[in-house]
Amino acid sequence: MSDPEQVLYGEKQILENKLEPIPNPAPGRPYMITNECPEFTCLCPRSGFPDFAVIRIAYVPRDYVVELKSLKLYINGFRDRHLFHEAAVNTILDDLVATAFPTWMEVTGAFSVRGNIRTVITARHGERPPGI
């Protein structure tokens, strides 16, 4: 039996995680990467109730792409953070841009209905190249 005070390995990975850039395997070709995170959750800063969302990340890489395990752990790190929807989406965009320095990036948070209102937040960085 494990000690209930012991931090589980997954929790430890989330706590210690840093977003990781890796070299773009095709830096001479403009292309789009799309990631979808369907189990995003954070906490409402007013009530403490959980908010759920699908986070969609689309970007055109320059020299780096975001390593996927680090992205998964990063997204999971929001589950105990008190953030408004707008702050969550803009924080994700800012952190990913600071990690990968993309040509263009868009982060959309489609939050579950709360109080009969569905909220969708979209934040962008850079110019989307024509034809992509």
User: Which residues are known catalytic residues?
Assistant: 44, 51
User: Could you give the CA distance from residue 35 to residue 96 in angstroms, rounded to a whole number?
Assistant: 12
Going along the chain, which residue ranges are E strands?
Answer: 21-23, 33-43, 50-60, 64-66, 104-114, 117-126
Amino acid found at 127: E
Q: Helix 9-16 crosses helix 68-76 at what angle (to 10 degrees)?
A: 100
